[in-house]
Structure 1
Amino acid sequence: MKPLRAEIPPEHAAIRRVIESIPQGRVSSYGEIAARAGLPGRARLVGRVLGDAGAEAALPWQRVLRSDGRIAFPPGTRAFRAQVRLLAGEGVLVRNGRVDLALHGWERDLDSQLWGPGVAAAPAN
């Protein structure tokens, strides 16, 4: 007999973990999430995972935007308005369907986070 719930593929689980990690008041792009999940170039998979997750997954979907900071839903739709409302509740300003990523982006420069000043170098072998 087949289980009622299929196992989540490891790639999908990795994407979910990254989305769950986006702090309140911050946003990230589909592509950034894919890269953080170890799946560079798989931005569309992030969208698919969000679409398939359903409400029971309780993912902070509102924090996921296009690479230019735009909301992916068509302006004026119920989903668009819900995303704007949820982001506003977190202190994220949406202007003309776009979020200022320089202001609200989540650790936008991963290289500087990993290799920038103040990061201790790994000991030499």
Structure 2
Amino acid sequence: MKRILDEALIYEILSVVEEIPEGKVATYGQIARLIGREKNARLVGKVLSMSEFYGSYPCHRVVSHNGRLAPGWAEQKYLLEEEEVPMKDDAHVDLALCRWDC
């Protein structure tokens, strides 16, 4: 039986995001694997898009599998630069240098 998106799952995802250290980033897929749902990277993205309703979490530290920043969220780049996360270009972090090793 499939697990539905419930508050327990939402907080499970957000608790992993909360553990990402300053200056590091994780990918949506990496978070999905950490909660035992390796094929649900998009679900992680959906939860993060709603995170403001559940508290304050460092969602800016989550990027796509290739380091791409979230489209339409200009503040993400600024927040990552404030933490001195290395960028490849205007839209990608350098995952080789800043991926969270968990």
- Structure 1 stretches (4+) deviating beyond 6 angstroms? none
Give the Å deviation of 1:16.
0.6
The code of the aligned residue for 2:25 comes to V
> Are 2:86 and 2:97, in contact at CA under 8 Å, matched by a contact in 1?
no
Greater relative contact order, per chain length (Cα 8 Å cut-off, separation 6+): 2
Secondary structure of the 1:10 match is helix
In the alignment, structure 1 residue 84 sits paired with structure 2 residue 77: yes
Identity %: 38
State the Cα RMSD in Å.
Answer: 1.6
> How far did 1:10 drift?
1.9
Structure 1 unpaired stretches of 5+:
1-7, 111-125
1:57 corresponding residue in structure 2: 55
Question: Aligned match of 1:96 in 90, 94, 99?
Answer: 90
Measured against aligned partners, the alpha-carbon deviations of 1:17-50 in whole angstroms (never above 9, x if no partner) come to 1100000000010000111112111111111111
- Aligned length, in residue pairs: 96
Equivalent residue, structure 2, for 1:42: 40
> Following the alignment from structure 1 to structure 2, what is the Cα–Cα distance between the partners of residues 11 and 38?
11
SS of equivalent residue, structure 1 residue 58 = coil
